[in-house]
Structures are given as structure tokens and as C-alpha cells.
Amino acid sequence: MRGQILQTASLTANILPSITREFTLKAARNVGLDIVEQSFTVEQAASADELLIASTTQDTVPVVKFDNKPIGDGKPGKYAKLIAEEFRLFTV
């Protein structure tokens, strides 16, 4: 995430379509984020304001370190927390 934009690889980039991905994107929209589906580089990921992983077994997981460097302040970010809370509403 950078600012109020969540960037994710598109489904044409070997990303599996899943309910988890759909819920994550819906949750992101519900908390006010814009979604951009396009490829990104490792360098772009490393310099993001926030990172999260969508996982079938873990729902959404904030990433606080990438390549041994902190993401943001090294703690789960505002939007990662909001997305996780919103995601839980879909699964309760």
C-alpha cells in the first residue's frame, strides 16, 4: 500500500483467484482504499508504506519487515489493521 492505494498483482500474473483475495479487496475498498491491479517490483514492495499478505489459512497478515528492512515504522500499519477487522466481518 502506498497512501490510500492498495496495489496487487492481477490474476493474469499467476495469482490464484480465491475467496480470500476477493474478501481482502472488498475489505480494502470498504475502508476507503483504491485498488490498482498491476505488477510491481521487489524494490516497490520494499518501499511501500504498508504490506500485507492474503492467505487462505491466515486471512490477512501484515508484513512489518521485508528483506530485513522495516516496512513503515516496523509495526502493522493503519490500513492493514482496518482491512483485517473488515475481513473478519465477512467470516463471522
Residue 92 scores a pLDDT above 80: no
Fold of the domain spanning 5-84: D-amino Acid Aminotransferase; Chain A, domain 2 (3.20.10)
> Which residues pair with residue 51 across a beta bridge?
63
State how far the alpha carbon of 35 is from the alpha carbons of 52, 70, 75, in Å: 14, 23, 22
Check residue 90 and give its pLDDT.
87
Output the average pLDDT for the chain: 93
Give the other-Cβ count within 10 Å of 83's Cβ.
29
Q: Assign 66 a pLDDT band (cuts: 50, 70, 90).
A: very high
How high is the pLDDT of residue 91?
Answer: 81
Confidence at residue 2, expressed as pLDDT on a 0 to 100 scale: 94
Element (H, E) at 36: strand 34-37
Q: Between 16 and 43, whose confidence is greater? A: 43
3-class secondary structure per residue, 10-39? CHHHCCCCCHHHHHHHHHHHHCCCEEEECC
**pLDDT, position 16:** 82
